[in-house]
Amino acid sequence: MQIVKKMTTRTCGDFTIAKIRAMILQAAPKGDDGNPPAVAPDGTHRALLKIAGEATSAATGQTDKGTFTRLMGSFVGTDMTTGELYQSGQCILPDYIGSQIGAAVLSAGKDGNGAVQFAFEIGAKAKADAITGYEFTVKPLIESKPSSAMVRLMGLAGIEAPKLADESKPAGESKLADESKPADESKPADDKSTKGSKK
């Protein structure tokens, strides 16, 4: 496992723009002649890496490429193309998801929880009108529950909070079927009144 200063798509597998474009092209369906297309069709997807961690604080920053959210905590990641593992105390995700995690960390601090756990699969899919020729995709790998502040807002808006799979089962549903069967009534009860008394 490599320890890196910060976990990003660049430090976990060196996913440069050129490398991601080439990987998407490799994932594109081949033509009738058996050769890959010159340009990957829109929507062609390639999984890149998985990142999981617990964020305890967050800060925003600015570069010439735009704003970003730096998460602090404990994070692990794996390059899905090589299986190589990485570890870091800082993580920068694609901003549209990084900013959401950062906001959740701030909300968790107000609620007294102080940390937000997450696990994502990050990929890229071809998009012709994007500057890079692709856009990042983020697939959650664990279920997450809204913060208490978000639950209050959802209540005001009349939105029902999502339930986890095990919360949606009625109580006692997991019991074995034979435990719910009635007793075998074919067996006579042990009635002492039918037994003869010894004198």
Segments making up each domain of the chain, as ranges? 2-143
Return the SS3 of 196: coil
Contact 83, 65 (CB under 8 A): no
Indicate the pTM of the whole model: 0.67
Element (H, E) at 149: helix 148-156
Tokens of 91: 């993580």
Tokens of 141: 């790998």
Q: Tens-digit pLDDT profile for the chain (199 aa)? A: 889 999 988 898 889 999 999 999 999 988 888 888 888 999 999 999 999 998 888 888 887 777 888 999 999 999 999 999 999 999 988 888 888 888 888 777 665 566 888 899 999 999 999 999 999 999 988 875 555 666 677 677 777 755 544 444 444 443 333 444 444 444 444 544 444 444 4
